[in-house]
């Protein structure tokens, strides 16, 4: 659907046909939250909901970008990208030089650090829910990275493009995220998750076996919106950096569960709990991968639940709506459930028996209605392909 919408928008914008269309998916993280910027381990999937960019070159040195998010196109001269994004992280968004949505595609072009041989017309459309913790931003970055890689002959690998997407998000937009979103979006495979070491950037594609076992992944979007460029996300990252300094290690990745007793003696209560989440979450990722390989997907439920408890109590990034979604799904028979994404809103996921998917959706909706919450947006996601050219 996003391909047709992007092509239509491109024709309306330019009066011509695009040279091509590139798309990248959103992602749902099975387990491993906030571990990426601590150089730890993550285990996400690419989902079938995608963002598409229909693109063609232009000769006047201007990048014009339009999207279905905003009816007003944004035009920036290629020569102005360095001054636009060369200041403090996120300053172009903060001072209103560009709307936030446009900073993602423009930021990718800037972050590529390749002298653009041409300008571009770009039309973006997306099926990825915004603000739901499914990384709509990485999907935009992937579509644009794929387009400029092909049209400008940059010869970049998928990991190279993931690094560019992360830089755009960190510096152009000002969101202090790690590389998990981009890597999982760009490298996805059907019915597989990406096991990523965020220090070495080594990846393994791990067979989930959900399709074979008759399991489905339900996303329960609370509709409580969040923004990573503001608020608690940055505070949590700062707490992790403080904890690492006080523990005398480069990153929290360098601590294990055996170090937690010393951490409790060394750190204040809040910093300790932030550290404990990262250390135990890293171990849960490793245990999830091992368990999938040795016992199969029905054995990972307890690890997913323990991850949610850690995010709720130690990292304190859940909200009541997320907690209710998780608890209700588990009561309805889910194998496991947890919030996913950066927190402070967004979505939870549940691994459910496919023949109980509809019943779980009904139960969660009823629980939200009883609590007086906004009706959640619920849908299945299927582990899917990553970045690619569609036209």
Active site residues: 181
Q: Which DSSP letter does residue 171 get? A: I
Do residues 194 and 252 make contact, with C-beta atoms less than 8 angstroms apart?
no
Burial 358-383 (b: 16+ CB within 10 A, else e): eebbebbbebbeeeebeebebeebeb
Neighbours of 385 (CB within 10 A): 16
Do residues 40 and 278 make contact, with C-beta atoms less than 8 angstroms apart?
yes
Q: Per-residue DSSP letters for 319-331?
A: -HHHHHHHHHHHH
Sign of torsion over alpha carbons 286, 26, 128, 102: positive
Task: Report the DSSP beta bridge partners of residue 337.
Answer: 350
- CA-to-CA separations, 274 to 300, 315, 319, in angstroms, rounded: 23, 5, 17
């Amino acid at each position: 659907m996003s391909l047709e919408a992007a092509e239509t928008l491109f024709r309306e914008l330019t009066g011509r046909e695009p040279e091509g269309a590139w798309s990248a998916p959103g992602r749902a993280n099975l387990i491993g939250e906030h571990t990426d910027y601590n150089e730890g381990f993550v285990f996400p999937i690419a989902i079938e909901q995608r963002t598409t960019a229909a693109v063609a070159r232009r000769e006047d040195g201007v990048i014009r970008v339009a999207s279905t998010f905003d009816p007003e196109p944004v035009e920036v001269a290629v020569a102005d990208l360095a001054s636009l994004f060369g200041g403090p992280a996120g300053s172009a968004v903060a001072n209103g030089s560009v709307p936030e949505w446009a900073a993602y595609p423009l930021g990718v072009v800037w972050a590529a650090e390749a002298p653009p041989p041409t300008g571009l017309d770009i039309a973006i459309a997306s099926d990825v829910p915004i603000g739901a913790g499914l990384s709509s931003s990485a999907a935009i970055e992937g579509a644009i990275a794929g387009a400029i890689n092909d049209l400008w002959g940059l010869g970049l690998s998928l990991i190279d493009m993931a690094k560019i997407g992360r830089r755009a998000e960190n510096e152009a937009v000002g969101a202090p995220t790690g590389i998990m979103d981009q890597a999982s979006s760009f490298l996805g495979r059907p019915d597989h998750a990406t096991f990523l070491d965020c220090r070495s950037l080594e990846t393994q594609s791990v067979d989930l076996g959900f399709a074979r076992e008759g399991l489905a992944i339900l996303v329960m979007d609370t509709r409580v919106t969040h923004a990573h460029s503001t608020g608690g996300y940055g505070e949590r990252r700062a707490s992790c950096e403080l904890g690492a300094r006080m523990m005398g290690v480069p990153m929290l990745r360098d601590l294990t569960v055996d170090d937690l007793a010393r951490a409790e003696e060394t750190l204040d209560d809040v910093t300790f709990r932030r550290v404990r989440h990262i250390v135990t979450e890293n171990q849960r990722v490793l245990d999830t991968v091992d368990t999938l390989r040795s016992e199969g997907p029905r054995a990972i439920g307890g690890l997913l639940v323990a991850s949610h408890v850690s995010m709720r109590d130690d990292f304190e990034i859940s909200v009541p709506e997320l907690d209710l979604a998780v608890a209700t799904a588990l009561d309805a028979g889910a194998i496991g459930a947890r919030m996913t994404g950066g927190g402070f809103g967004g979505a939870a996921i549940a691994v459910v028996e496919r023949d109980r998917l509809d019943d779980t959706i009904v139960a969660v909706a009823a629980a939200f209605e009883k609590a007086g919450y906004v009706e959640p947006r619920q849908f299945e996601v299927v582990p899917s392909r990553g970045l690619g050219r569609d036209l």
